[in-house]
Amino acid sequence: MTADVSKTAAQAERDRVIIFDTTMRDGEQSPGASMSLEEKLELAKILEDMRVDVIEAGFPIASNGDFEAVRQISEVVTESVVCGLARAGAPDIDRCAEAIKRAKRGRIHTFISTSPVHMKWKLQMEPEQVLEMVTRSVGHARNLCGDVEWSAEDATRTERDFLLRCVEAAIKAGATTINLPDTVGYSYPSEYAEMFRDVIENVPGADKVVFSTHCHNDLGLAVANSIAGVQGGARQIECAVNGIGERAGNAALEEIVMALKVRGDKLPFHTAVETQHITRASRYVSAITGFPVQFNKAIVGKNAFAHESGIHQDGMLKNAETYEIMKPEDVGQVESNLVMGKHSGRHAFREKLKDLGYELGQNALNEAFQRFKDLADKKKHVFDDDIIALVDDALASS
Ligand code: KIV
Ligand code: ZN
């Protein structure tokens, strides 16, 4: 009995996925998405309430504003790890260490590009020089902080043997988390999973560190790739609220968390995120960045729990599981929404009338329903006031 319980706990520990939020770092890199210090402090509080494990609060050397945000967030956040980003040079790493030094649990995240195209054109360095920088930068960061993440920027376009050598060097120099980003959103899920399997199987010391995904959405595959990375052995996912980030964005936090939660029957992984805070976080990020959330956005879009067709509304009124795979309240939405429009059926119309306080006889109901259909053909949105007016009309003329 005891053995079974401890096996379950060990398994649960193995299957736990760390959620690393980068809304305030990579997310803020979306053109036009900059956030003020006060907004970042408020967002950090929301993320902490949501039980996000790691908050990447900024890139301290990028500006005094970023430094100050990371510094102040480090002072107020007590539960989540607070992380700052740094390139591989000592000035970046020192500035980051300074920004997180008051954090209860701080992390330095340092990175360098490892792909041929980045090394040749961006860094203008030879691979051996990059390898040397990996050892030097991670070692330097590790002297300043016990929690060091190293990222191989553009890992998915990196020559595999070189990637293995870099990861090995980073682990030897003291990295505790190894991130293999799909920086340009280029990978397929099967390739991304295979890369993690290969690295984890073939790099000495891989079992001592946590592997992380970081996926961009250039081909719309960021969430699928992140989950594939976890299937390949990663146990941290980097993501952003509403999927904001460079170009087409990062993997969306809310989609990842709910995909792992809803499909717990298929995959054993779980996160610590308290999902009822998701809608609040999404609305706050949309308000402060000015980036609207598309209506049909999974999980947090205005239409994510809205039903218009008569067939769907009828199903929903009988049992919500007919057309909903999660409850709106699980993500902090109040309730499902039966939208009255030209596709709505008689069943939903009768329920809507009940909500509005009308109990009509069969003839009046038929008359009102016909008027509603005529109106819905002409009008995109039929509001409660429209329905009240047409029912009153129907009653007056019957
Ligand atoms: O996309 C990327 O590779 C990054 C790194 C800095 C982690 O954002
Ligand atoms: Zn990125």
pTM value is 0.93
Query: Can you tell me which residue has the tokens 């301290």?
Result: 60
* Averaged pLDDT score across all residues of the chain: 95
Distance (angstroms) between ligand 1 centre and the Cα of 228 equals: 18
Distance of CA 205 to the CA centre of its chain: 29
The 8-class DSSP code of residue 252 comes to B
Pocket of ligand 1 contains residue 181 by CB under 6 Å: yes
Cα torsion through 334, 339, 340, 346, rounded to 10? -90
ipTM for this prediction = 0.99
Contact 237, 251 (CB under 8 A): yes
The residue to which tokens 């870099």 are assigned: 166
Of 93-107, 112-126, 334-348, least confident by mean pLDDT is 334-348
Pick from 285, 287, 240, 252: nearest CA to 26: 240
Strand 148-153 and strand 106-113: the pairing is parallel
Q: Which residues fall within 8 angstroms of residue 316, CB to CB, at 6 or more apart?
A: 307, 322, 323, 324, 336, 338
Question: Does 4 score more than 80 pLDDT?
Answer: no
28: Cβ below 6 Å to ligand 1? no
Q: Is 183 in the pocket of ligand 1 (CB under 6 A)?
A: yes
pLDDT, tens only, 300-320: 999 999 999 999 999 999 999
Q: CA–CA separation, 385 vs 197, rounded Å?
A: 58
The annotated binding site for Mn(2+) is made up of: 26, 214, 216, 250
Contact at 8 Å (CB) between 192 and 232? yes
Can you tell me the mean pLDDT for 206-229? 98
User: What's the pLDDT tens digit per position in 134-187?
Assistant: 999 999 999 999 999 999 999 999 999 999 999 999 999 999 999 999 999 999
